[in-house]
Amino acid sequence: MFSRKWMAAAALGSLLLTGHAMAEDKKVIAVSIPAADHGWTAGVVYHAQTAAKEINAAFPGVEVIVKTSPSAAEQVSAIEDLSASRKIDALVILPYSSEELTEPVKAIKEKGTFITVVDRGLTDPTVQSLYVAGDNIAVGRNTAKYMIDKLGGKGDVVVLRGIPTVIDDERIKGFQDAIAGTGLKVLDIQYAHWNSDEAFKLMQDYLAKYPHIDAVWANDDDMLLGVLEAVKQSGRTDIKLALGGNGMKDIVKKVIDGDTVTPVETPYPPSMIKTAIYMTMANLVGQAPVRGAVKLDAPLITKDNAKEYYFPDSPF
């Protein structure tokens, strides 16, 4: 009885020792992201896992661990557990919510961990060592600029917006600021909750309400799918442009294929998590300083550069 316990303890001890030794050798990058619950977060999970696979294979001295969490509270537990069980050299985090995650991330920073924040900022920006995000205002602005250009400076536009959040507000603001003073007129703007079914219904209603529409802007690609289906059903030919945003693979494919109604796309790419992981690794492995805030632009995706943003294996 006693000897068996003793053996178990010895085995456990040696296991811990080797585990410790391995952790000494490798630099650990923990990645904490929301679980996939819709298209965009599914893309984030895909790109984080791809980055982890690529880096773990290419750099034997680095270990990337990806943890997904279905809520803010569980994300807090996840990063606390990660940092309690081993030393983390860097944490790349896409926070569920700014308020709830700020303090827990700060606690991890105090242990000497390099902190990379992605997409949604923390309430205290001094916590982050590196900040990587897209540009929601540019998503709206660049779409608007293209429409103005393509429609010759005037036309009737209907807009579908998402869920009342900062992201949605910024996109709409970018769009409205860009069309101010031009002949482009927004006939209507309503929420469709970034949901393709709701967008389908809303577009049917827009089509019933307005006998003439020049262009549609859905500020997310999930909604654009519903819009296109409603336009197709109506058989209407007055709609010259139907644009989306985010960089969903189905829509990027349309751009590649030279679709006439959806000839361009504006990215708010989930691959930004991958950009952030690689930059963090550069700091850790290559001693390439990366501290600062990086705003990824939302350049128009056209037929020429679409390949750069096309990920056929991603779920999004």
Partner 1 sequence: MAVITGSPSTHRAGDLNITWTDVGPFLALAALLVAGFLINPDFLSATNLANVITRSAFIAIIAVGATFVISSGGLDLSVGSMAAFVTGITIMFMNAVAPHAGLWAIPAGMLVAILVGLLCGLANGLIVTIGRIEPFIATLGTMGIFRALITYLTDGGTIPIDRSLREAYRPVYFGTVGGIPIPILISVAVAAIASFVLYKMKYGRKCAAVGANEDVARYSGISIIKTRTIAYIVQGVCVAIAAICYVPRLGAATPTTGQLWELQVITAVVIGGTALRGGKGHVWGTVAGAVILELIANLMVLSDFVSEYLVAAVQGVIIIIAMLIQRFSNSK
| Smallest distance, partner 1 to C-beta of residue 146, A | 24
Task: Tell me which residue of 148, 108, 142 sits closest to 128, measured CA to CA.
Answer: 108
Q: Which of 107, 99, 105, 104 is nearest to 117 (CA)?
A: 105
Interaction residues for partner 1, span 189-208 (CB under 8 A): 189-191, 195-197, 200-202, 204-206, 208
* Smallest separation (angstroms) from partner 1 to the CB of 194: 8
Rounded to whole angstroms, the Cα distance separating 264 from 266 reads: 7
Q: Considering beta carbons, is residue 54 or 188 the nearer one to partner 1?
A: 188
Check binding of 268 to partner 1 (CB under 8 A).
no
Number of residues engaging partner 1 in binding (CB under 8 A): 37
Please give the DSSP secondary-structure letter assigned to residue 38.
S
Nearest to 273 by CA among 115, 46, 118, 67: 118
Q: Which is nearer to partner 1, 63 or 198 (CB)?
A: 198
In the complex with partner 1, the residue whose CB is nearer, 182 or 204, is 204
Instruction: Closer to partner 1 by CB, 6 or 210: give it.
Output: 210
| CA pseudo-torsion sign 30, 33, 35, 38 | negative
User: Which amino acid appears at position 274 of this protein?
Assistant: K
Sheet with 292-295, strands from edge to edge, namely: 62-69, 27-34, 90-93, 114-118, 130-133, 292-295
Q: Rounded to the nearest whole angstrom, what is the least distance from the CB of residue 312 to partner 1 in the complex?
A: 12
The residues binding partner 1 (CB under 8 A) are 35-39, 41-43, 45-46, 161, 164, 188-191, 195-197, 200-202, 204-206, 208-209, 222, 225-226, 229, 233-234, 250, 314-316
